Amino acid sequence: HRVRAGTHVSYPTSRSGRFILGAASEETFGSRVSGRASDGIADHGIGEEDLDGLTGTFMVGRTAGGDSGRLSYGFDLSGAAGGRNGVSGSLRILKRL
């Protein structure tokens, strides 16, 4: 179970591009995990972990290519600290036929 509150803001930086900024606070409760995970190379035991807690998240990114264009792309970098910690990123490319 999760409850999240935050904001997501985008600002035009050019005729076809936008800068994106987001921040949120998320409370997780009633979550427990245990078991085994295997990826074909190794088998990992997961001890019982409590994932409950407060996590702050932050995201920054950029998009380019408007609705009228045939090619658009975007990328972002996200981070989390608190109950969960980590960094992730993504790159998206859309080609309209």
Q: What is the pLDDT along the chain (97 residues), one digit of tens a residue?
A: 889 999 999 999 888 889 999 999 999 887 777 777 788 788 877 766 667 789 999 999 999 986 667 888 999 999 999 888 899 999 999 888 8
CA distance 41 to 28: 31
CA distance 39 to 45: 12
CA atoms of 28 and 24, how far apart (whole Å)? 13
Distance of CA 17 to the CA centre of its chain: 20
DSSP state of 13: -
| In contact, 13 and 20? CB cutoff 8 Å | no
